[in-house]
Amino acid sequence: MNIILFGAPGAGKGTQATRLVDQRGMVQLSTGDMLRAAVSAGTDLGVRAKAIMDRGDLVSDDIILGMIVERMDSPDCAQGVILDGFPRTVAQANGLDEMLQARNWSLDHVIEIQVDEAALFARIENRAAETGQVREDDNAETLRKRLDVYHESTAPLLPFYSDKGLLRAVDGMAGIEEVGRQIDGILG
Ligand code: ADP
């Protein structure tokens, strides 16, 4: 089973992906985590990506698609993956379609975690307080920018997947366990 967890920055995609990994042994592909790993490792890609991420912009579609193709072809992904933070643009979604078709894989569900944007600002502050680590893109100014980018470039994927009959929504304002139950209800 291949699924996309979809939602605005801070919607809880990573939290729910981790839950699915723990409970169902699914494999999570998070482009945000991959990019942060590249930044920590100080690779060329990491150096280029860091400035883009820190200002809340999107890393180029070519780089993202390249990262995903490479990862998807590792054996552990053959049983299916949770895509978290990808695709984020229509070009990425088309690239994903081609990738899946070429491998005869299907996309089973696109789960939108719906949230109230005002609440996201409080969450981002909590995330910094709870983890004791401040991600450089976790501040109100960058979040504003990331939300703008989300509306402009990523939200158009909602009609894209709804037209394909794949889109399902869960209430991301509910507690973590309840959101998890709603997702379980969709995945069966
Ligand atoms: P969040 O889950 O909080 O929305 P992520 O950790 O997924 O954030 O991503 C952090 C940053 O990494 C993004 O703001 C963007 O700069 C970059 N990034 C992650 N995934 C993608 C993607 N699919 N396309 C372009 N840029 C991406």
Q: Which atom of ligand 1 is nearest to the CA of 149?
A: 14
Per-residue pLDDT of the chain (188 residues; tens, 9 = 90+): 999 999 999 899 999 999 999 999 999 999 999 999 999 999 999 999 999 999 999 999 999 999 999 999 999 998 889 999 999 999 999 999 999 999 999 999 999 999 999 888 888 778 767 777 667 777 888 889 999 999 999 999 999 999 999 999 999 999 999 999 999 999 99
**What DSSP letter does each residue of 55-94 carry, written as one string?**
TT-PPPHHHHHHHHHHHHTSGGGTT-EEEES---SHHHHH
Q: Which residue's alpha carbon is at the smallest distance from atom 12 of ligand 1?
A: 32
Task: Copy the structure tokens of residue 50.
Answer: 């860091």
52-57: long-range contacts at Cβ-Cβ below 8 A with a sequence spacing of 24 or more?
53/136, 53/137, 54/136, 54/137, 54/142, 55/142, 55/145, 56/137, 56/142, 56/143, 56/144, 56/145, 56/146, 56/149, 57/145, 57/149
pLDDT value at residue 64: 97
Q: Residue 23 burial (CB < 10 Å; 0-12/13-18/19+)?
A: exposed
Q: Is 48 a known active-site residue?
A: no
Q: What is the dihedral of CA 17, 23, 28, 34, to 10 degrees?
A: 80
Q: Is 127 a known active-site residue?
A: yes
Distance CA 86, CA 32 (A): 9
Q: Which residue's alpha carbon is at the smallest distance from atom 5 of ligand 1?
A: 32
pLDDT value at residue 7: 96
Q: Which of 48, 55, 135, 145 is catalytic?
A: 135
Q: Which atom of ligand 1 is nearest to the CA of 85?
A: 7
**Distance from the Cα of residue 73 to its chain's centroid:** 19
Q: Which of 127, 144, 164, 181 is catalytic?
A: 127
- In the CATH scheme, what is the code of domain 3-187? 3.40.50.300
pLDDT value at residue 96: 97
Terminal-to-terminal C-alpha distance of the chain: 11
- Ligand 1 neighbours, Cβ below 6 Å, are 9-10, 13-14, 31-32, 35, 52-53, 56-59, 64, 85-86, 88, 92, 137, 146
